[in-house]
Each structure stands twice: as C-alpha cells, then as structure tokens.
Amino acid sequence: MAVSDINLTDAIQRAKQLDPYALEQVYDAFAPQLSRYIHFRLSESALAQDLHARVFQSFLELSPRRRNMIENIPTWLFDTARKLVDQQLAERNRARGIPGEELSETLNPPDRARQEIAWLNQLVFQALAGLISDHQHLLALRFGVPLPLEEVSRLMREPVSQVKSLQVDALLTLRQRLETER
C-alpha cells in the first residue's frame, strides 16, 4: 500500500469523526470522480452540481452512530449519488421520446455539425435514461467517471465477473435502444 493510500485510509476513518482536515482530504480525493459520475447520468449541469453538493451534505448530516456504521465511504458516496440521481430522474417523469425537430437546412456547415452533435448527444442521453438503474449506474462508473473494472466491482460490491456480465448486458441494451430510436 502506498503512503498516499495509507494517508487516505486514515483520512477516511477520521472523516467519520468530522475531522475538518480529513473531510477535505476525502473531498479532494473523491469529488472529481463523483462529479463526473453525476454529470454523466444527468444532462443539466446546475442540477448535477446541486446533487454533488447534496451527497457530501448528506454525509455531514448523518448522526455520529450512522457515520461510524459506514464501512466504505467511497462506496457510500457513490451509492448516495446513485439514489439522488435515480430520485431526480423519477421525479422528472419526462417522455422518453426525442423531440422531432428537424435539422435546419439553412445553417452553415459548422452550425449544422454542432446541431447534429447536440442531437446525437441527446439521443444517447435519452437511450441511457431508458436503461434500468443498475445499467445506468455501471455505465456511469465505467465510462462517465471512468473507473477500472476492479474499482467498479468494489463500489458495486459485486465480483468482477458479475460486473463484466452486467456491462455486456448494459451495452447490448443501450445498442438496441439506440438502433430503435434512430
């Protein structure tokens, strides 16, 4: 184990007692990955920033007893982010279809290309939003953050072989959804 890993492990334990320096270390270590995860799952930047803050706020608001029961703070952070994102997506209750706006033929080529990219991004986001929560969670960790399989396995509390299988299922389902929406 590297010295930085030892220091982070110690900081994670001290963060449970709300040690300010330890909380700062934990935040610095995991905030960028958590932010990428939430932004990958949501299309609205302001909302993603709000949920990012709420994850850390939720940790601070836990009772000392509940904080001490957390076995793995990074896993808890990603689980909390997942729950908040899933709640937000459920509350939206948006239609699954993409608006039928046609690309403007009057735009110059660079503007048309930007509009096509925006449309494709929206298409992919809609297809991702239609996946089951486990698939969304896995793809956000693997490709949104991005994290290696072993880390995703640890965060999801599943064997690597199960994560690989779930990833194949998620990508196949995403592909099918994209093919039907084109």
Residue 169: which CATH number? 1.10.10.10
Report the C-alpha gap between 121 and 113 in whole angstroms: 12
Same domain, 89 and 127: no
Same domain, 145 and 180: yes
Number of domains making up the chain: 2
Report long-range pairs for 21-26 (Cβ below 8 Å, ≥24 apart).
Answer: 23/60, 26/73
Q: Which helix (H) or strand (E) holds 56?
A: helix 45-61
Same domain, 72 and 110: no
Burial (0-12, 13-18, 19+ Cβ within 10 Å), 27 = middle
Report the C-alpha gap between 141 and 136 in whole angstroms: 9
Give the residue, 167 or 44, on which the prediction is more confident.
167
Same domain, 78 and 124: no
Question: What was the pLDDT predicted at 1?
Answer: 39
pLDDT over threshold 80, residue 26: yes
Same domain, 75 and 105: no
Among 66-80, 93-107, 144-158, 167-181, the range scoring the smallest mean pLDDT is 93-107
Question: What was the pLDDT predicted at 100?
Answer: 34
Over the range 77-99, which residues count as b (16 or more CB within 10 Å of their CB) and which as e?
A: bbbbbbebbeebeeeeeeeeeee
47-to-6, 52, 54, 70 alpha-carbon distances in Å: 34, 9, 10, 26
Residue 38: which CATH number? 1.10.1740
Same domain, 53 and 112: no
Same domain, 50 and 18: yes
From 93, 115, 137, the end of a domain falls on 93
Domain that holds residue 21: 1-93
Question: What was the pLDDT predicted at 88?
Answer: 86
Question: What was the pLDDT predicted at 56?
Answer: 95
Mean pLDDT of 45-51: 90
Same domain, 53 and 113: no
Question: What was the pLDDT predicted at 87?
Answer: 87
Same domain, 54 and 22: yes
Q: H/E/C letters for each residue in 82-123?
A: HHHHHHHHHHHCCCCCCCCCCCCCCCCHHHHHHHHHHHHHHH
Nearest alpha carbon to residue 28 among 60, 63, 56: 56
DSSP summary character for residue 43 = S
Phi, psi of 98 (to 5 degrees): -90, 135
Same domain, 123 and 70: no
pLDDT digit string, tens, across residues 93-134:
444 443 333 333 444 556 667 777 777 778 888 888 889 999
From 62, 93, 124, the end of a domain falls on 93
Same domain, 162 and 76: no
Same domain, 85 and 108: no
